[in-house]
Amino acid sequence: MKKICFIAYIVVSAPAMACTGITLKSKDNAVITARTVDWSGSKMDNIYVIVPRDYTEQSLLPNGTQDGMKFKSKYGFAGLGMQRPEFIVDGTNEAGLNVGLFYFPSFGKYESFNAKYKSETIADFQVVSWILSQFSTIDEVKHAIDSVRIVNIDPTASTVHWRITEPNGHQVVMEIIDGVPMFYENPVGVIANSPNFEWHMTNLNNYVNLYPGTAGPTPFGPIKLRSLSNGTGLRGLPGDFSSPSRFVRAAFFKTYSIPQKTATDTAMQSFHILNNFDVPFGTAYKVGTATFDMPSATQWTIATDTKNLKIYYHTMYNRTLRQIDMGKIDFDTIKFQYHPLDTIESETIMNAKINK
């Protein structure tokens, strides 16, 4: 129960919930989903989880029990999560379906918990696990979603919304508005936090004047105005860490990045793009009010190759990339397991070669 309450605390009182997601496609048609996980409230117990086929999970409920909906995994899957192995934040199953949750405060609304329907009720932080364990396509999720009741672990907690991506690149954002699941096509391959996804798409129109490259020279009466540096076509691109600004910035960076040849190159490219969204710890607090210290408010960053079933990640403690190669996992025989993202919380530093 202690862990359940802690998750509710994260969702309700988070001083910074600045997760940003992008999706890229390589020239060899591999789809890469990538995102940051940002939380400045405290250091989380960040983990990766391996789930075999035929593994049974049962949902936690707002009344503090773990006797909600049961589901047995049809597909094996792997993902990164926090605090409890049930709480997978971003994962991929052996069919290549990728699902991630993103905080969505003040705009979504789940239906109220009713113990009468506990056998079909699932906590929002376990929806990623449920989808990955049961489905291989977005249509399958759409057909099944009305058969479950998604609720908060704590009724006072924030809501989340979800990005769902097929290995062919088809992607939707799922939001629950007034208790009703809504699916939105995501042609730009970008997601952030509140407001709702449709608002973010409309807001992109406010930046119709931006373009890649350098502006000018522009006649200005008797003189010409010239750019003082390269890249002035994007002057006016918002640079703060608010959700609307991150969505716009991610959309422009992702859209105008040069497509890479291979899936691996594209995964590496996604990390370079997401470096722009690494939130310096302390920026969510007034000066002098942060009571602890971390290397970053961006606790981990993940990129997933949905074609070749490879998950890459690095953390705020160690930016050395690590890999989970799902192609080497036998999901029939592997045991359910989870491990910390960092075994040692320090950077891997290598000495440069210097000839004597």
Q: How confident is the model over 330-342, as pLDDT tens digits? A: 999 999 999 999 9
**The pLDDT of residue 317:** 96
- Among candidates 88, 99, 92, 57, which has minimal Cα distance to 78? 92
SS3 of 163, please? Answer: strand
**The pLDDT of residue 150:** 97
Task: Point out the residues of the chain with pLDDT beneath 50.
Answer: 1-14
Whether residue 222 has a cis bond before it, omega within 30° of 0? no
Convert 74-90 to b/e letters by CB count within 10 Å (16 or more is b): ebbbbbbbbbbbbbbbb
pTM attached to this predicted model: 0.93
First-to-final CA distance of the chain: 60
**The pLDDT of residue 49:** 98
**The pLDDT of residue 14:** 47
